[in-house]
């Protein structure tokens, strides 16, 4: 039995082992998904989530001595990606994406939904980037995050009300976010289904479902910010990684 097969068998029952296996095969999975979709796939695309979940399916179905794991995984990934593309093709006319554009900044109504002090601090920190308009940098991150969160059915401006108000709840939400970030499969499920996987996340993190349900918008946003390219916004989530 080679090293890869040993890793696969361990990953069947060990989430940490699965995470290491998936991380080590990420580039390969992206290549298989890209070849199947006939376009370049990144880990920001839905096809990546499909590929990762298919990879997990292959891990669970693999049997020692029954051929190459990668051959099995490639077959499952291609099949799932093709199924996804066919489904998207059938319903393409139903899809609607309307990303927000903050060309002239936030209007008065929108600003009321966000802590203005945080916005000001974000702009001040963005000023450290040479040659860039500080306010524009902060606004661009908010606009991009708004576009991401629209996929989940809520707005960046909902976060003020969704944020935890007590230290105890704040720590629980931080634990939930850390668990999401550490579990590639949970992140993939969240992004693909456009929903927080509350049952699975509660079991994995130990955080009660009531807190996850009440603060789902905050947890989703925090996970997307910390897993994405949002350096200014991520600065206000740094406590999550430190706890």
The domains of the chain, with CATH numbers, are 3-92 (1.10.1740.10), 113-242 (no CATH)
| Each residue's pLDDT tens digit, 112-161 | 333 444 444 444 444 454 445 556 776 788 888 888 898 899 988 788 78
Write down the residue that tokens 């080679």 correspond to: 2
Neighbours of 220 (CB within 10 A): 24
Instruction: Give the DSSP letter string of 43-107.
Output: TTSHHHHHHHHHHHHHHHH--TTSS-HHHHHHHHHHHHHHHHHHHHHHTGGG--------TT---
Express each pLDDT in 4-52 by its tens digit. Answer: 888 899 988 888 888 889 989 999 999 999 988 888 888 888 889 899 9
- The whole-angstrom distance between residue 184's C-alpha and the CA centroid of its chain comes to 8
Longest dimension (CA), the chain: 65
Residue 164 binned pLDDT confidence (cut-offs 50, 70, 90): confident
pTM score, whole prediction? 0.61
The b-or-e profile of 165-187 (16+ CB within 10 A means b, else e) is: eeeebbebbbbbbbbbbebbbbb
At 209 the pLDDT is: 94
């Amino acid at each position: 039995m080679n090293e890869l097969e040993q890793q696969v068998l361990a990953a069947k029952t060990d989430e940490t082992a699965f995470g290491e296996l998936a991380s080590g095969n990420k580039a390969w999975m992206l290549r298989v998904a890209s070849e199947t979709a006939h376009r370049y796939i990144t880990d920001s695309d839905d096809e990546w989530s499909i590929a990762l979940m298919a990879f997990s399916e292959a891990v669970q179905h693999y049997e020692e001595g029954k051929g190459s794991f990668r051959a099995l995984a490639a077959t499952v990934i291609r099949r799932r990606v093709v199924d996804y593309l066919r489904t998207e093709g059938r319903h393409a006319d139903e899809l609607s994406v309307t990303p927000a554009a903050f060309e002239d900044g936030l209007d008065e109504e929108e600003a009321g939904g966000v802590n203005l002090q945080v916005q000001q601090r974000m702009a001040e920190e963005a000023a450290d980037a040479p040659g860039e308009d500080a306010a524009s940098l902060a606004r661009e991150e908010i606009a991009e995050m708004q576009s991401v969160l629209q996929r989940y059915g809520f707005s960046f401006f909902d976060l003020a009300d969704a944020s935890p108000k007590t230290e105890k709840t704040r720590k629980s939400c931080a634990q939930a976010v850390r668990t999401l970030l550490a579990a590639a499969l949970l992140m993939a499920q969240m992004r693909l289904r456009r929903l927080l996987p509350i049952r699975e996340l509660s079991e994995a993190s130990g955080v009660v479902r009531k807190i996850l349900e009440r603060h789902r918008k905050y947890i989703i946003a925090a996970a997307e910010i910390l897993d994405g390219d949002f350096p200014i916004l991520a600065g206000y989530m740094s406590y999550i990684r430190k706890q």
